[in-house]
Amino acid sequence: MSSVAPAAGGVGVLPRRKFELVLAGMPRRRAAEKRFRLYGQIAIGLGLAFLVILFASIILNGYTAFWQTHIRLDVTLDAARIDPQGNRDPEALRRADYNELIRDQLRAMFPDVSGRRDRLALYGLVSNGASFDLRDRVLANPELVGQKIALWVPADDDIDMLMKGNVDRSVPESDRRLKDNQLAWVDKLAAEGRLQQRFNADFFTRGDSRDAELAGIWGAAVGSLLTLMVTLALSFPLGVAAAVYLEEFAPRNRWTDLIEVNINNLAAVPSIVFGLLGLAVFINFFGLPRSAPLVGGLVLTLMTLPTIIIASRAALKSVPPSIREGALGIGASPMQVMIYHVVPLALPGMLTGTIIGMAQALGETAPLLMIGMVAFIADIPKGIFDPATALPVQIYLWADSPERAFVERTSAAIIVLLAFLAVMNAVAVVLRRRFERRW
């Protein structure tokens, strides 16, 4: 370092006065240094604090959604009403009016409630889904007909919020969703031990619903899964093929440069633009069904391709050239070298890149909004042509709902989404650690 030498050696020949000046400035400079360090620590602290606040607020808001207030009803399964023929025909059992049974039971528990409005308020304590639960129970076990069974049914979301302490009773009645008489009934139920927080299985097994207590993420999760499957099935082979071509076979020319510039540009294009593209090309031009995981997968494929290509190229680059030479030297064709030696060695790196791309795709909302995966869909999608939504879009939808109970569910869905992302990234890290080779 020739430039350093004279300067370093210069200290010795520094005139005495100047040297003292430097020394005198030292404390000031040390203090500045310390301050600078402090700023750095504060910055990191702030960054981490944001992270903690983000996670804490989501988890604190969301974990309660994994439990749901249930009401115990002792329902008499009157054979005359649900199975008039008495032959336990499943079709007849399916069509029976279970709602009426539940209402009867509620009326029996609160005999002094009268008047249409009050009765409706009373029925409102129990979720609309209760009758379906009852029906499923009966269908699963027709022997129950004629018996009196204890049934835990989900409470209405307002009751749930009340029991979780999210409703302020001091607010004037007119501003409350739960009226005073309902509060009294709830208190009575609670006193009788008929209210209980139970594990919210519905949240994990149901599709979307207008009723918060019935809304689940299963539909969105299946939608996400189908979408990701399409994405994976397309983007992995396409990405690897493109990377292999560019890294192993492409001659250096304008066309190759053009492709590379395009790939790098696409990596920086905002994701919503891919949604626009999907809308214009896949839906409007090719006439593929709107809201379908197929189209979502296609769009996300285009979005994640640059990621996968760039990561795969990095993985291919890390395979030492000596291996290619060795194989070429005994007469393997470039294609054989690629298939037998290079790609297997680069595969872990390619998979890592693919998983990261998939994680990116899983968290993506904007492009899916453009292709109509934002519709309210209560059914669980059965295939890639069915209308579906995806987890992040479900979060987006729920975040818009005014009910307090949806805030909780949104946060819970976010927890689930983040858990999936964490798992995927962890797999990517493990894969990299396990298979990373040092040449």
Q: Which of residues 345-404 bind another protein (CB under 8 A)?
A: 345, 352-353, 356-357, 359-360, 362-366, 392-393, 395-396, 399
Using CB under 8 A, pick the residue from 50, 199, 376, 435 that binds another protein.
50
Least Cβ distance, residue 189 to another protein (angstroms): 30
Distance CA 81, CA 298 (A): 51
Show contacts with another protein in window 172-201 (CB under 8 A).
none
User: Is 33 one of the binding residues for another protein (CB under 8 A)?
Assistant: yes
Q: Which is nearer to another protein, 98 or 396 (CB)?
A: 396
Contact range with another protein by CB under 8 A, out of 80-88, 207-215, 269-277, 376-384 = 269-277
Structure token pair of residue 327: 């194989």
Which of 73, 31, 81 lies closest to 195 in space, CA to CA?
Answer: 73
Tell me which residue has tokens 């005999």. Answer: 111
Nearest CB to another protein, comparing residues 125 and 415: 415
Residue 139 binds to another protein (criterion: CB under 8 A): no
**Cβ(68)–Cβ(203) under 8 Å?**
yes
User: Is the CB of residue 397 less than 8 Å from the CB of residue 413?
Assistant: no
> Considering only residues 94, 148, 233, 340, which one is a binding residue for another protein as defined by CB under 8 A?
340
Name the DSSP class of 67: E
Q: How far apart are the C-alpha atoms of 96 and 81, rounded to whole Å?
A: 7
Instruction: Annotate each residue in 285-324 with x if it binds another protein (CB under 8 A) or - if it does not, as one string.
Output: -xx--------------x--xxx-xxx-xx--xx-xxxxx
Give me the helices (H) in 270-365, please. Answer: 271-278, 293-317, 321-329, 334-337, 343-362
CB of 208 to another protein, least distance (A): 15
Residues 13-32 that bind another protein (CB under 8 A): 22, 29-30, 32
d(C-alpha 168, C-alpha 158), whole Å: 12
Q: What would you report as the CA-atom Rg of the chain, rounded to the nearest whole angstrom?
A: 32
Q: 293 near 388, Cβ under 8 Å?
A: yes
Burial environment of residue 165 by CB neighbours within 10 A (0 to 12, 13 to 18, 19 or more): exposed
**By CB under 8 A, residue 423 contacts another protein:** no
Among 79, 93, 190, 332, binds another protein (CB under 8 A): 332
Least Å distance, CB 429 to another protein, is 5
Q: Which stretch binds another protein (CB under 8 A): 80-88, 157-165, 168-176, 423-431?
A: 423-431
Are the beta carbons of 360 and 310 closer than 8 angstroms?
no
- Of 21, 241, 419, 423, the residue at the interface with another protein (CB under 8 A) is 241
Using CB under 8 A as the binding rule, whether residue 170 contacts another protein is answered as: no
For another protein, which residue of 192, 265, 419, 423 counts as binding (CB under 8 A)?
265
Q: Count residues contacting another protein (CB under 8 A)?
A: 126
Question: Is the CB of residue 431 less than 8 Å from the CB of residue 348?
Answer: yes
DSSP string, 122-145: HHTTB-TTHHHHHHHHHHH-GGGT
Site for another protein contains 335 (CB under 8 A): yes
Least distance from C-beta 214 to another protein, angstroms?
21
Q: Does residue number 408 form part of the binding site for another protein (CB under 8 A)?
A: no
Helix, strand or coil, per DSSP, at residue 73 = strand
- Both tokens of 394, joined, read 């479900």
Choose, by CB under 8 A, the member of 46, 139, 375, 378 that binds another protein. Answer: 46
For position 249 contacting another protein by CB under 8 A, the verdict is yes
